[in-house]
Structure 1
Amino acid sequence: MFLNTIQAAYGARKKAKRVGRGIGSTDGKTCGRGHKGQKARAGGFHKVGFEGGQMPLQRRLPKVGFTSRTKKFSAEVRLSEISSLNVDVVDLQVLISSNLVPVFTKKVKVVNTGVLSRGLTLKGLGVTAGAKSTIEAAGGKVEA
């Protein structure tokens, strides 16, 4: 390989757009800028995000973080916490009365953390796939 034989890959060097070369070239007369207006002028520049005087999107949006409105009403319970309960059927009311979830909880999901030694029936609770298999392996069942 010699320095005088090195060439750019095909398509790496694009030819410059030659504007103002007649109406047959598709970029004649107005050179692809349309008719009049700020962007048709030489130096017709506006800053990034400028929306013609309208309040720009980045200034319209709130500057504080997102807070889920449903997060307050949902909770997560571990299998180890459920196994410590002395009941056979576990539902939302049982979890609230045993202080495992707050009183205003509407949705509960059971996650596969800990060991379940006995069979339990879960009613009306969300269950992860791992937790469901652990509950069924222990002889319990999950009802909708």
Structure 2
Amino acid sequence: MPRGTARDGGGSGDGGSGDGDDGGSGDGTDWDGLFDDDAWYERGITVRGGSAIDHASGGALALNALRDADGARKARKRVGRGIGSGKGKTSGRGHKGAKSRSGGGPRLGFEGGQTPLRLTLPKRGAHNPHRMTFDVVNLATLREYVEAGRFGEYDGDDPRTLTMKDFVDAGLSNKKIKHGIKLLAGGVDADEAFIKVRLEVSRASTKAKEIVERAGGSVTKVHYNRLGLRALLHPHKFPRGLPKPARTPPRLRKFVDREGTLPAPAQMETSA
């Protein structure tokens, strides 16, 4: 389309498009700037090969004239391809030494062989090797599980004994128990009526035990060592027979009523 004419078909003149000198048009397109090589070069677009722009074929907007800006694509440097390349022979790594070898560098925190900083600082805080960690079960949660039938059919007159294996099978406690389960009176008041249950746990608070016994139930604190507790919770992992129950250490006898049995009492009643 000739410059200086309106693209929408309007006439040229004083109120329409500009004349051929200013390069304007009725739609506001700067046709002179569109074919200005310097303007496109400032934007990072140049003509491939530096050839002259052919305005008739589209000029700088032609697809065969477009290219990336200078420095946009950096060529890969190949090493070890002769001294003439500048990175031949030792590939810029020099001779010998740790930095010339392949593989990763030293581990994090390595200080060249001297004592690292983390070992020069003293240890702080107490550590009790005899500390025991128990999973907590509250009476309110236990009652909800019993009433929901998570432990099977419930007989209020003669309930069966619920062991720590029953707690795990019902989803009341985590499967990865370290030292046992402790029973707490969370969610139940001291004078509140409770269901009749018989429980075997590792530990129990005084308040929780009083609430259960007042309802006609019982709480027996039994001792299992790590191996015995694993045999109680996962007897299928002992195809060659369950281990003998471990005796209670003297320092723990004041916390328990007796040693735990293997298999669990409920399992023995079922087999009988």
Question: TM-score under structure 2 normalisation?
Answer: 0.27
- Greater radius of gyration (CA): 2
The structure that is strand-richer by fraction is: 1
| Bigger relative contact order (CA 8 A; separation at least 6) | 1
